[in-house]
């Protein structure tokens, strides 16, 4: 923990500290106590840190957009991690909640988030998901295709409802950390493209016109999400300009000036010591100035804006606590290569290294060590050699079975993408705040797994 936890350059949440005996505490609770009370592996969320990040996004965007005379809403993207408590925290901090499925919608509603502070996404929403969203009175459903616009209209008219709809467009901007998480280039499944032949409307324009014409639907906005783990502002600004141009073109053709533009999520987090995350103040200013300039050029007033950060709010607020089970030094051609440190979880609680080649950091957190640091690889307990938690990290040479190891920045897309591969129960999620710890999501048990098996 060479940098101050919570500060730029540190992957640790603000509540993490090394205490007098050399062990680590999170928000005043020692990791040894967490391990004894709740078992390992364990996802640990630092509530104050998460709330702080939610607030900084909201305040940074509100301030920057106020400078150009526009309003902005921050939707927390629940796909990164959603539980009832987390939905309440972000709601308390003035954020709305973006859901991508009926499951996420149900959690947001169970948390008491008002329907009009919830959005529903998804490129293939089921009829049940659409019905649940309409019944809950969600503030917006983001339509992803022409087929879906027809489906939404049918559901709305059957229910006698007027459904607020945004149209998701793909702007051709390709940004983000990995091909699988970049979403606005053309050759992928999401949204309606802005690209078109000279003599034809773009799918995006066709979608907007379809919503305007569809019974039961009210066009409330245009949506663009360009990717995830983005560390430079340029892509957001280019995409926003293209969306504003589309909005101006629609106004010219129909007289309808769409009220809101959503610029999606994707704000990058820092995963390794020394890495610099996207700064909300800087990005908010750059986007606000970019859209202001674009609106002037187009001669249209600015719409209301919204954004949907997930990772950057919950990722750095979380860590995973593991217990070391075995240690295997590997030598090749007579030379030491690295130590393989096996922990009691792995690709079932964090699939990101296997799926995206994502890099993480790890430290021994149950004690201090004055041993020399050696190259190490942290691996899981699953039956494949790609079951890697941390590819390359320096750990003390005396790391041994029974040591507690923590991997920071696992709050996003850790538990939410967890599986029960090899029938390993998924870890609990615990929140810590002011010296108190409580379970947000309990650990799966073998009995849970057996209960699903009908024999």
- Interface ranges with ligand LLP (CB under 6 A): 77, 79-80, 98, 121, 181, 225, 228-229, 264-267, 308-312, 352, 356, 412-413, 417
Q: Which is nearer to ligand LLP, 119 or 216 (CB)?
A: 119
Least distance (Å) between residue 121 CB and ligand LLP = 5
Nearer to ligand LLP by C-beta: 381 or 415? Answer: 415
3 backbone φψ class: left, alpha, beta (φ>0; ψ -120 to 50): beta
- Least Å from the CB of residue 100 to ligand LLP: 7
The DSSP string of 324-373 is EEEEEEEEETTEEEEEEEEES--TTT--HHHHH------EE-SS---SPE
Query: Which residue, 315 or 396, is less far from ligand LLP as judged by CB?
Result: 315
Which residues does residue 193 pair with via DSSP β-bridges, in sequence order? 170
Beta pairing partners, 304: 260
Structure-token match 């998924």, residue found: 426
Q: Measured between alpha carbons, how far is 99 from 95 in angstroms, rounded to an integer?
A: 13
**Rounded least distance, CB 412 to ligand LLP, Å:** 6
Least distance (Å) between residue 397 CB and ligand LLP: 32
Residues forming beta bridges with residue 42, ordered by sequence position: 321, 428
CB of 36 to ligand LLP, least distance (A): 30
CA pair distance 71, 278, nearest whole angstrom: 21
Q: How far is the CB of 292 from ligand LLP (least distance, A)?
A: 23
- 47 or 144, CB closer to ligand LLP? 144
Q: Which is nearer to ligand LLP, 31 or 347 (CB)?
A: 347
CB-based contact 167:143 (threshold 8 Å) = yes
> Under 8 Å CB-to-CB from 451, ≥6 apart: which residues?
none
Residue (41 or 265) nearer to ligand LLP, CB: 265
Give the residue among 268, 280, 275 at the shortest CA–CA distance from 412: 268
Q: What's the alpha-carbon Rg for the chain, to the nearest Å?
A: 23
Minimum distance, C-beta of residue 229 to ligand LLP, in the bound complex (Å): 6
Q: How many residues does the chain have?
A: 455
Please name every residue paired with 45 in a beta bridge, in sequence order, or none if there are none: 318, 431
Q: How far is CA 32 from CA 40, 75, 124, 164, in A?
A: 10, 35, 44, 49
DSSP symbols for 187-212: SSSSSEES---TTS--HHHHHHHHHH
Catalytic residue positions? 383
By beta-carbon proximity to ligand LLP, the closer residue of 60 and 80 is: 80
**Number of neighbouring beta carbons within 10 Å of residue 327:** 17
75 Cβ contact partners less than 8 Å away, ≥ 6 residues apart: 95, 96, 97, 98, 119, 262, 306, 307, 308
Cβ atoms of residues 138 and 116 within 8 Å: yes
What's the N-to-C CA distance of the chain in angstroms?
Answer: 49
- Whichever of 117 and 311 has its CB closer to ligand LLP, that residue is 311
Which has the closest alpha carbon to 172: 245, 102, 111, 63?
245
φ, ψ of residue 371 to 5 degrees: the values are -65, 155
Minimum distance, C-beta of residue 268 to ligand LLP, in the bound complex (Å): 8
> Least distance (Å) from ligand LLP to the CB of residue 53?
11
Cβ count within 10 A of residue 116: 13
Give the closest residue to 356 by CA, choosing from 317, 425, 414, 419: 414
Distance, in Å, from the CA atom of 398 to the CA atom of 371, rounded to the nearest integer, reads 6
């Amino acid at each position: 923990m060479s940098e101050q936890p919570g500060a730029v350059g540190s992957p640790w949440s603000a509540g993490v500290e090394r205490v007098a005996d050399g062990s680590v505490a999170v928000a005043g609770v020692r990791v040894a106590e967490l391990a004894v009370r709740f078992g390992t592996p364990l996802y640990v969320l630092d509530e104050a840190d998460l709330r702080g990040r939610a607030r900084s996004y909201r305040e940074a965007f509100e301030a920057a957009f106020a400078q150009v005379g526009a309003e902005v809403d921050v939707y927390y993207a629940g796909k990164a991690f959603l539980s009832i408590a987390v939905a309440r925290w972000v709601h308390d901090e003035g954020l709305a909640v973006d859901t991508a499925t009926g499951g996420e919608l149900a959690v947001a509603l169970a948390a008491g988030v008002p329907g009009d502070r919830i959005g529903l996404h998804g490129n293939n929403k089921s009829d049940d998901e659409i019905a649940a969203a309409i019944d809950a009175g969600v503030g917006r459903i983001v339509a992803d295709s022409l087929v879906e616009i027809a489906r939404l209209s049918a559901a709305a008219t059957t229910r006698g409802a007027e459904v607020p709809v945004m149209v998701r467009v793909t702007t051709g901007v390709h940004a983000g950390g990995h091909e699988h998480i970049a979403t606005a280039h053309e050759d992928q499944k999401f949204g309606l493209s802005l690209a078109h032949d000279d003599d034809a409307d773009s799918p995006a324009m066709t979608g907007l016109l379809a919503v305007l014409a569809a019974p039961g639907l009210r066009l409330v906005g245009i949506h663009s999400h360009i990717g995830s783990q983005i560390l430079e502002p340029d892509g957001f600004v280019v995409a926003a300009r293209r969306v504003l141009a589309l909005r101006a073109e629609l106004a010219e053709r129909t007289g309808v000036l769409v009220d809101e533009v959503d610029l999606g999520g994707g704000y990058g987090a820092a995963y390794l010591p020394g890495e610099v995350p996207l700064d909300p103040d800087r990005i908010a200013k750059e986007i606000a100035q970019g859209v202001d300039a674009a609106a002037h050029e187009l001669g249209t007033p600015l719409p209301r804006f919204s954004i949907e950060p997930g990772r950057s709010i919950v990722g750095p607020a979380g860590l995973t606590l593991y217990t070391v089970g075995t240690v295997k030094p590997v030598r090749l051609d007579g030379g030491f290569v690295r130590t393989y440190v096996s922990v009691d979880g792995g690709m079932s609680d964090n699939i990101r290294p296997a799926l995206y080649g994502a890099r993480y950091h790890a430290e021994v957190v149950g004690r201090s060590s004055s041993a020399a640091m050696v190259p190490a690889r942290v691996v899981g307990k699953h039956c494949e050699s790609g079951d890697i938690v941390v590819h390359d990290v320096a750990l003390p040479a005396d790391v041994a079975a029974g040591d507690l190891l923590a991997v920071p920045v696992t709050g996003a897309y850790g538990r939410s993408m967890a599986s029960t591969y090899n029938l390993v129960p998924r870890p609990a999620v615990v929140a810590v705040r002011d010296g108190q710890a409580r379970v947000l999501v309990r650990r799966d048990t073998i009995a849970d797994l057996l209960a699903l098996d009908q024999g």
